[in-house]
Structure 1
Amino acid sequence: MLSESDYQAAKIIWESLNDSSLTYEEYTDLVNDQIERTSVSKVTVFGDGINNTAVKPTGDYSSWRRYRNKLVNQDHWSDKSVENIEESAFNTLKYLTMDAETGPHKGLVVGNIQSGKTANISALIAMAADNGFNMFIVLSGMIENLRQQNAKRIFNDLQADGQGDNHWNNLENPSIRRGFATDELKLKPDSKEKYLIVSLKNVSRIESLYNWLKRDHNKQKQMKVLFIDDEADQASINTRDVNSDERTSINKWILNIVEDDNFGAMNYVAYTATPFANVLNESGKHTLYPENFISLLEPGENYIGPTQIFGLGDPDYQRGMQDIVNEIPQKESKEIQEAQRDGAAFKAPESMRKAIDWFLIAMAAMRSQDYKKPISMMIHTDFHKQAHSLVEKSVQRYLKELQQKYQEDPKHVLKKFREEYKLGRDELSKETFEKVMTDYSGAVKDYPKWDAVKDELISLLSIPNGEFVHHIKMTDEGENVYGSGIHLCIDNSSFNDLSDEHIRLIYPDGNQLKKCKKAPAFIVIGGNTLSRGLTIEGLVSTFFLRRTNQADTLMQMARWFGYRQGYELMPRIWMDQEAEERYEFLTEMNEDMREKLKEYADTDLTPTQSAPRILQSPSYVNVRITANNKMQESRPTVFNFEGLNHQIILYKNKEKSMETNLENTKTFLEELGEYEANGAHMIWRGVKNQKVKEYLGSYQGVELDKQLASMPHIIEWLSENGENFPNWNVILAGRGKKGVRKASKDEWNVNGKTVDAVRRSKTDKSTDDIIDIHALRSPSDLLADIPDANDAPESVKKSNMGAITRYRRQKGMSNIPQLLIYRIDKNSKADKKSKERRDLNTPYDLIGLNIWLPESERRVANKSVVKYRAVTIKDYDQPLNSGTEVDEETSGEE
């Protein structure tokens, strides 16, 4: 039986057969394109195996099918996304226990920031209910109004207007003293009653819940519990000394529930996009360590996340959409921070003014295209509440001055906006967006004509003063009123009191939205409340200036990640250079973690046998994985260069170094003898390790710690472990359709043959001494030495390193190390539309290298650097493989 997405693909292909102009090649391309676009992502589960006989619900009135239909009818979920949710939820369900014999099962589901995690939670609950589970507990954050929103949403997702096979009961804060009595619960196997409890992550609430759950022991034994801990790295982690008997209160009460063996079945499933503390802090039977499984949620094809914004592996688009990130100059950053520290009023600096201007422009553009939903700007500069009020006054002052200037000289103000609109359009074109988001399933609206934007700006700036910028107003009946001006909000706990104005952010509900003449606009200023849970709707402008260096905190603050249907080209971000560098590293760190989990999932190992490893940052980025008291039992683990995939992106800006590398590369390749030609690649097979090692030793590179693995360490490691990698494949990678050709006179060549040099421009981070190209290799080059590599699926050729590694393994090439050599054209030109790219303009071509070392079947001790952290596995009766420990004081890297 075809899946629904396969059916849609088949339908499209069948309809295309009626087109008599379709050639065979075009038909083949169409088939492959539809298969790739509609195929469901492989579900990644790293765990101890299937634990139950659960089946995927198919009945029209099952909770899952009713919820599935709801997803299908929502605009932002494509058929492929819904299929992915279905597969992810079902595969997680299969790892749960449905009885008490094996004790509680503990798992972890890793999502992405604002990628639809709640939809996956609702899907798992629905499927579990259809398979006999009856008690569902969701811990939902630390903020009561967000808990209420989540409870309402999940209950509405599940109840299906009372028409489904299951009858859902939403229990609000149950306790012994009030509310629903446990002896009223209907929990027999044939009962259709299902109970949902969405609880605040609060000590007294969880303690009361536990006392309520165990009040009637007979009822407790009938409870088949699915306990979901949303944002599980927040407050649930034991930050007390893990070697003592004391535990933090919330962690203790969660464990009391999970480890009570009187339940008919108990499953604890932690959900988070930043799982570092969950896998690094502690392990053992009496902890919340995910001993049974770790599952990855794959975001939908329309998700715009770290990789899409901060960089891709393909050098043609290696910066992703990073041109939408604008820099806050260090001077302005310092001015804002000093003013906030001193409690002094300050004038909005130029970068903040530009961010506000873009918000107004984007709002006008979206309104001109009849966009009706909320449009927002977020300003996040400090967690102190006093600072939020200072920023609000600064923003309000600028907006009022802007309106006054418009009234005095409208042509001048509109001219400024027109120039900023043109600059904004140049930062991200529709063409670039579609090249980065290759699988995007929605129709992307291009920028509207300036005249349409101008009309909306005139309408906005002509609003009477009191209505142009204000807080959310309230009627005498307490109903919020939304106008066509700008709603200025401060979201922190200082503004919980209700008056005739509502200062905190609250978006209009469906009925209120229908009353709005134009899409309502919001500028929200805040700190910690903007970091988790709260979705900033229609976010088109972000001004971000937080100084934290913790990876999990930084990732959670990135509210600009997510789905942006209907305004894909509009979002812009302002941050300082330090923050941008950290997010670039976090993108690598996040992708590395996910790829490592996929590799573990391909083995027979479990989380109690091989602890997940988290990439540490190089010293110049200075990012901590998480707080020290959230990774207490983690240890630095040696990375032994097996599995290394290292590209050189930094080059000496010295003529002699360039000339030497060209000469040494020519000598090295000419000594290798016969080669194979594959397109624009020259391939030498069976090159001895000693030969490669000597060539690498002659290479003149940059002696900086910015490279994650230094060349001397690699060479030293190869000397000690060369028996594992006796023969290499060496590839000279070129570009273009000419392929391997006869070199012209005076052209760089290998025994008279050559390939066209690749083109790589330099970034604006380059200096007089160092050239930084940001990315070197193209993913498809890593397949050049595989016979029939041209037949590889496009999804592999354009994919991340994990997919390419798996493809090499399928083709029997997983044990062969590879050296990719690039000759980079000295005349490489930068994309004229890029703000952060420059022409290469060097006196000689550069030589770039990519070194790929496979993982051998037997791991060996070696000398290297500390690159990862992993928890010390303990208290499990299984063989351990948590990584080689190294003395942290002598490791050379923290």
Structure 2
Amino acid sequence: MADEFDDMYETFKAILDAFPPTEAVKRLELMGVREDVIQRIRDLHEQQTIRIKELEEPHAVVLGNRDTWYTGPQPKDKCWPAIEELLVKDGWSRETAIRNLDDSSTRVVSLLNHPKEKSFSTRGLVVGYVQSGKTTNFTSVMAKAADRGYKLFIVLAGIHNGLRRQTQARLVQQLVEPNPSMWSQLTDLDKDFTPTANPASYFGNSNKTHVLCVVKKNATVLRKLAVWLDQAADYLKDCPALIIDDEADQATVATKSINPLILSMMKSLPRSAYVGYTASPFANLLIDPSAEDLYPRDFVVNLPKPEGHFGTEVLFGRYALDGEDPDQVDDGHDMIRSVPDDDIPCVRPETKEDVEGFEPVITDTLRRAVEYFWLVTAARRVRRTGNPHNTMLIHTSVNTAVHNSFERPLQRLLNRTAETLTDITFLSRLRDLWSQETARVPAQDFGETKVPFDDLVRELPGVLRSCRIIMDNSSSEARLDYENGPIVAIAVGGNTLSRGLTLEGLSVSYFVRAVSAYDTLLQMGRWFGFRNGYADLPRIWMTDELAAWFRHLATVETEMRRDIDIYITESETPLTFAVRLRTHPALRVTAAAKMRDAVTAASSYGGKRVQTHYFHTNADWLSGNATAAKDLVAAALSNAVRVEDRSAEERFVFRGVPYDVVTDFLASYKFHEKSPENDADLISGYIRKRVAAGSLRRWNVAIVGSSAGRPFEFVPGVSVGRNLRSRVATTTPTPDFADIKTLMSRRDAAVDLAGDTVKLTEKGIIDERRVQLPDTGLLVLYPIDKTSEPDAGKKLRAPLNAEQDVIGVGLVFPEPQHGDSTVEKYISANLSGVRLEVEDFSLLEGEDA
């Protein structure tokens, strides 16, 4: 009876996927299903569906009723329970980690089509984090799809043999070996796809096994697979297929060979679902949705960030988004070490002509990074916890000749270190290095215990003996091989180490590779991932510019995921709302070819807060801004409807200042060129458009100071104490540059509001402005002390040390009341060519067509 009920339940879900519930019930009645059984099916289905819809994570984009057919594992399943048991043996918690994986993979499967539908061609996208367990997620999705009847599984595993082998090994271990009689394989560890003579042996009615094929995105390989599938067309009509595209933004989008071959394969599979997995989905989100391509038109899923994962934001911090309290946004951990610009020519050729004969120099920063890696490896041997492998990554160039040139100097450094381990001066230097690093990142902050140097030094001889220098690139035979026991390796490489491939036990990175796009930059961050047992020890050496780019990228990632959440909160779909991607003045979002169909997305300043956090520190630049601020205060004093002298609070408010006083100030005040959100021309243009619409004609201009600072006079009778704003600390500060990260507090954004504003949230301030000042903007001036020593204990901060006092600016824009005017800061997919059809259910109600 239970099996009969399960079958009816599955039938009901399949019908519901195609018809509204009432029509599905009618069809079951016509099939002769008893009323009480139908009611049981409906009750169970409603309970399961509510659970899926109410999953807090992952948030998903859902088209129509696509989330109703799969509601989780069933007792008769074989593939998913096998994965569960393997993960339990690996130490995963059933209550947290496995439950989260179960929920997130269930959510993805629920968005696929039912495998018994006559035809379907699903296109979806799953957005994860770099090195966050995406492979485990799509393996779980494959297992659950197999348990429900999907037969053919094609995994596109990057473009390199290393990642393909790693993926094949993982899928065999977790899918095939626990249930060997249920699977057939078209590929193995050592062999990419090779056509077989008889497709019927895999897809004929007599073969009930699932078919696994793991291929790399190589034109020759995919062409053979596409031809073979086309020849097997007669057998594939009733074969539900799931295509998993790992690293879906790489080679898949806007390529002349790979992209058409993937589409060709899908045409041979009348019942197929394509799901891309990537941590850098920028290219995928910019595909032309109106073209016959791989735009994720059916769903986009944000995977939850796993507990203990080291991501962009954790390491580099990010900037506050609209609606966030900047004081609550973390600066990140103190794990980034600065490589001075003068070191770059020593570790990377400046031009292509310099590649031949290039000899790298072991600079002080590179030597320090390598020595710290050996200390970390020794400390981990003392702790005896976590991943058994220890890896350091050196990535300075894409050129294989440059990689290979590092072998001799690194080997010399290794040999020389082994010979001088008994030297007291050398050991003293290592002791100082260990003391400095462990003081900057206390072990107890991560639940670990600091390893004493004397315990660590006893392990160093063994560490140096086992350390290998490996050139891992397309021209070398050596590879990072984690399958034959624990390794200690310094890996020098490029693209073969920059995507998908997990660098086991990675603790130290030296990264100065020049990049020009978000996705390239993000995917090179092999230092992201899990660091169980040594979360206090990872370090990254890179230039300050690269660190700033990663901080911007962390902001882009967070904002992108927030946009994806709009699909849930506002009932949008990928065909009605395009995810916006914030641009950067020095970086492309992705390769130019992948952005050719993108459009500039309008983004409004309405209801937002803009503030300066980048500054030059030279006297001429600062002097000009001080003059602009003093001129603004003088004009505000002359033109304000009312002046509020709140000098006892170190504040002044000039109410009802004409908008042209503000735009004149914006024309003379200089924002730092690295601040994409602070574009004076865009802001002024936005103000003028709002003025034309009847808003923002009047502004409140405020001055906010601090009682702890020395007086700063704008004009006679108007002075406040200077504010203290220290800069983000770097090992080697960039000349003439400071990043203070946060300028404007939540309280300051309410400086011109009446009543008790102390406890107002960000949203509360916006709501209160809508009531009190619906058409009035706010501009706040901050005089900042040129020295600005940081508070004691703030290890990630350093004195501002500008040549003159700095003027910071914050602007708060009211939400539009008379229609909005937009500014261009983002790009997105172009939805103008999308034609949406509205389903007509009139025939189902018995009406005439």
TM-score, normalization: structure 2? 0.76
- Paired residues in the alignment total 753
- Structure 1 residues 252 and 786: alpha-carbon distance in aligned structure 2, compared to 1, 3 A threshold: farther
**What's the C-alpha RMSD, in Å, of the aligned pairs?**
4.6
Name the CA distance, whole Å, in 2 between partners of 1:858 and 1:92: 41
Q: Show the counterpart of 2:323.
A: none
The alignment status of 1:838 with 2:798, answered yes or no, reads yes
How far residue 842 of structure 1 moved from its aligned partner, in angstroms, is 7.6
| Amino acid in structure 1 at the alignment position of 2:630 | T
Aligned to 1:289: 295
The amino acid of 2:726's aligned partner reads S
Question: In structure 2, the residue corresponding to 1:494 is in which secondary structure?
Answer: coil
1:585 aligns with 2:552: yes
What does residue 618 of structure 2 align with?
A: none
Check if 1:46 corresponds to 2:58. no
Change (3 A) 1:317 1:486: farther
Summarize deviations over 1:345-373 as a string: whole Å, max 9, x none. 34412221111111111112111212461
What does 1:187-226 align with in structure 2 at a 5 Å threshold? 193-217=209-233, 219-226=235-242
Instruction: Tell me if the contact between 2:658 and 2:697 (Cα under 8 Å) persists in the aligned partners.
Output: no
User: Could you tell me which residue of structure 2 aligns to residue 10 of structure 1?
Assistant: none
Q: Match for residue 417 of structure 2?
A: 402
Letter in 2 for 1:839: P
Q: Which runs of 5+ in 1 are unaligned?
A: 1-38, 240-247, 435-442, 462-467, 469-484, 497-502, 514-519, 798-803, 881-894
The 5-angstrom pairing of residues 242-257 of structure 1 reads: 248-257=256-265
| Residue 769 to residue 383, structure 1, CA distance change in 2 (3 Å) | closer
Instruction: Determine the structure 2 residue equivalent to 1:890.
Output: none
SS for the counterpart of 1:338 is coil
- Whether the 8 Å CA contact 2:705–2:720 is kept in 1: the answer is yes
Q: Structure 1 residue aligned with 2:830, among 872, 877, 881?
A: 872
Q: Distance in 1 between matches of 2:125 and 2:152?
A: 19
Equivalent residue, structure 2, for 1:648: 612
Aligned to 2:593: 629
Greater CA deviation, 655-664 or 202-211? 655-664
Specify which of 624, 627, 630 is matched with residue 660 of structure 1: 630
Q: Distance in 2 between matches of 1:274 and 1:745?
A: 47
Residue 428 to residue 764, structure 1, CA distance change in 2 (3 Å): closer
Matched, 1:258 2:271: no
Instruction: State the one-letter code of the partner of 2:211.
Output: Y
The SS at the match of 1:425 is: helix
1:150 shift after superposition:
0.8
Q: Is the 8 A contact 1:146 1:534 kept in 2?
A: yes
Task: Name 2:318's counterpart in structure 1.
Answer: 312
8 A contact 1:134–1:194 mirrored in 2: yes
Quote the Cα distance in structure 1 between the aligned partners of 2:319 and 2:344. Answer: 31
Query: 1:370 maps to what in 2?
Result: 384
Contact 2:659–2:699 (CA under 8 A) maintained in structure 1:
no
Do 1:310 and 1:319's aligned partners in 2 also have CA atoms closer than 8 Å? Answer: no
Distance 2:221 2:383 in 1: 46
- Residues of 2 paired with 1:840 and 1:819: CA distance? 26
- C-alpha change, 1:735 and 1:47, in structure 2 (3 Å) is farther
Distance 1:177 1:78, change over 3 A: closer
For the structure 1 residues 764 and 204, does the alpha-carbon distance in structure 2 shift closer, same or farther, using more than 3 Å as the test?
Answer: closer
User: Is 1:110 the equivalent of 2:123?
Assistant: no
Q: Give the structure 1 partner of residue 689 of structure 2.
A: 720
Do the aligned residues in 1 keep the contact of 2:57 with 2:303 (CA within 8 Å)?
Answer: no
> Is residue 335 of structure 1 aligned with residue 346 of structure 2?
yes
Indicate how the Cα distance of structure 1 residues 522 and 820 shifts in structure 2: closer, same or farther if over 3 A, else same: farther
**CA distance in 1: counterparts of 2:175 and 2:767, whole angstroms:** 43
Contact 1:66 1:160 in 2 (8 A): no
Q: Which amino acid aligns with 1:276?
A: F
SS of residue matched to 1:127 = helix
Contact 1:658/1:845 (8 A) holds in 2: no
Q: Given the superposition, is the C-alpha separation of residues 161 and 645 from structure 1 closer, same or farther in structure 2, using an over 3 Å criterion?
A: same
Which digits, 9 at most, give the CA deviation of each residue in 1:547-601, with x for residues without a partner?
Answer: 2212211111111111111111111111223333332332233233222322344
Distance 2:355 2:105 in 1: 47
Q: After TM superposition, give the deviation of residue 254 of structure 1 in Å.
A: 0.9
Task: Tell me by how many angstroms 1:335 deviates.
Answer: 2.5
Q: Does 1:449 align with 2:452?
A: yes
CA distance in 2, matches of 1:259, 1:332: 52
Structure 2 counterpart of 1:354, one-letter code: R
1:172 correspondence with 2:142: no
2:196 matched to 1:238? no
Please name the residue that 1:157 is paired with: 174
Partner of 1:348: 362
Q: Cα offset for 1:840?
A: 4.0
TM-aligned CA deviation for residue 220 of structure 1: 1.4
Please state whether the residue corresponding to 2:406 is helix, strand or coil.
Answer: helix
Query: In structure 1, the residue corresponding to 2:251 is in which secondary structure?
Result: coil
The one-letter code matched in structure 2 to 1:416 is R
Deviation at 1:399, TM superposition (A): 1.6
The 1:808–1:411 alpha-carbon spacing in structure 2 relative to 1, beyond 3 Å, is same
2 CA distance for matches of 1:276 and 1:206?
Answer: 24
Partner SS for 1:45:
coil
**Aligned counterpart, 2:26:** none
1:707 partner letter = S
Which amino acid in structure 2 is aligned with residue 628 of structure 1? Answer: A
Single out whichever of 358-367 and 757-766 deviates more from structure 2: 757-766
Aligned-residue offset at 1:192:
7.2
Distance 2:134 2:634 in 1: 52
Q: Deviation per CA, 1:269-322, whole angstroms, max 9, x where unpaired?
A: 111112222222433341111122222222213111111112234766867346
Distance 2:315 2:663 in 1: 33
1:705 aligns with 2:673: yes
Q: Is the Cα contact below 8 Å between 2:183 and 2:209 reproduced in 1?
A: yes
Amino acid at match of 1:417: L
User: Quick check: 2:782–2:808 contact (8 Å CA) kept in 1?
Assistant: yes
Distance 1:768 1:381 in 2: 23
Maintained 8 Å contact 1:538/1:564: yes
With over 3 angstroms needed to count, the CA separation of the structure-2 counterparts of 1:217 and 1:539, relative to structure 1, is closer
Q: C-alpha separation between the residues in 2 aligned to 1:181 and 1:213?
A: 8
